[in-house]
């Protein structure tokens, strides 16, 4: 019988413990890199839901943010002013950015970046029209109360800076979820 010092055995245990520790630590860190985590940390998870508004002239508009891939992708849909836009919002953990890509009813497409803090979310968008013309705008979303949100629409320069004053403001009211009618037997 040969005597073993246990050195190889201890080294293997330490290696295994370190490997498991690193795996658990990186898994926990990766678990925090989701869009849901970003919304929670910035206080902007209040935006999820359906919103609607009307201008003083009677023009109606609506906006909806809903989860389409749990914790990772939000669908965004705007309809109003003879215009429709649909986009998806996602978090890029490697760049630590929230981005959006979308398309509109006029044949345009765009990319946006979201920034948020203290419950206020800002979208900086660059939209290319049907013929390649570029328009830039920034929208700042603020929670007024549990049932009300406002969005200020700003001009956006080529460096991504918002104009000092908004060009317009839209007010939205949260749309109550419809309760499904019970089927009668």
What pLDDT, in 10s, does the model give residues 36-51? Answer: 999 999 999 999 999 9
- Give the Cα separation of 120 and 57 in Å (integer): 28
Considering only CA atoms, which of 148, 97, 150 is closest in space to residue 120? 150
The yes-or-no verdict on residue 81 having pLDDT over 60 is yes
- Output the CATH code of domain 37-174: 2.40.128.20
Alpha-carbon gap, residue 152 to 140, rounded angstroms: 5
Assess whether pLDDT exceeds 60 at residue 25: no
| CA pair distance 137, 34, nearest whole angstrom | 26
Each domain of the chain, given as residue ranges in start order, spans 37-174
Give the closest residue to 121 by CA, choosing from 145, 95, 98.
98
Q: What are the tens digits of pLDDT across the range 95-133? A: 999 999 999 999 999 999 999 989 999 999 999 988 989
């Amino acid at each position: 019988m040969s005597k073993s010092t246990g050195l190889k055995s201890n080294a293997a245990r330490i290696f295994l413990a370190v490997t498991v520790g690193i795996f658990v630590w990186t898994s926990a860190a990766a678990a925090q890199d989701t869009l849901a985590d970003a919304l929670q940390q910035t206080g902007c998870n209040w935006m999820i839901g359906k919103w609607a508004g009307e201008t003083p002239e009677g023009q109606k508009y609506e906006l909806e943010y809903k989860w389409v891939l749990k914790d990772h992708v939000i669908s965004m849909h705007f309809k109003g002013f003879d215009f429709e836009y649909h986009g998806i919002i996602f978090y890029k953990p490697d760049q630590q950015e929230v981005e959006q890509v979308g398309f509109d009813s006029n044949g345009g497409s765009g990319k946006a970046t979201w920034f948020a803090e203290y419950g206020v979310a800002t979208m900086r968008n660059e939209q290319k029209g049907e013929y390649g013309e570029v328009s830039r705008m920034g929208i700042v979303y603020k929670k007024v109360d549990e049932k009300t949100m406002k969005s200020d629409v700003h001009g956006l320069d080529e460096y991504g800076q918002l104009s000092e004053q908004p060009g317009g403001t839209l007010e939205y009211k949260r749309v109550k979820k419809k309760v499904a009618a019970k089927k009668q037997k």
